[in-house]
Amino acid sequence: MATLKLTLTDVSAHLEVPLAQLDALAARLGCAVKTSSREVTLLADDVNCALTFDRVDALLLLREARVIDDENGLFAVNVLGRLLSIFEGDLEAAVVTTPANLYPTLLSVQSGESSHPLFATIMPALTPVLSDAEVERVERLLDEASAAWAQWQRSKDPSSPSPRSSG
């Protein structure tokens, strides 16, 4: 199977990222950061993909999203998509793929949400990771539900003694 190459054209976006979170975000997204006094650029390993932000006080405002020949759409989804989801950004762009027409040609993200198949697979996965206490609670609830289900199944088994007939 051929490798997918994804390009976004005619990009119009609104995305605000807190400057204080830049270093942690870049590390988490696997991007290099290039800074100057006026702008910040998040760069992928691939030089054809970058997000350039203008510095405005404590915020970074997305000025340019360059996604050209993005292999398997990794930068578009894992960097741009994650930032749009986390910070509830907006984006309108044309999608061009090689091989052609693998995705719908219009990508729309509103308030960090999209039904476009390219982003729809990543957006739900962006919710924060559960804490250890939350994981324990979920596991406990699943165990309780499983035990209740097993008990209900036993009560439906005609060969098991009915609690009502024991008297």
**24-82 confidence digits (pLDDT tens):** 888 888 899 999 989 999 998 766 899 999 999 899 999 999 988 888 888 888 899 88
Average pLDDT of the residues in 151-159: 82
DSSP label of 34: E
Tens digit of pLDDT for each residue in 112-138? 888 888 776 544 444 445 567 777 888
- CATH number assigned to the domain covering 5-126: 3.30.310
Write down the pTM of the prediction: 0.68
Mark residue 70 as left, alpha or beta (left: phi above 0; alpha: psi -120 to 50; beta: remaining). Answer: beta
What pLDDT is stored for residue 124 in this prediction?
A: 40
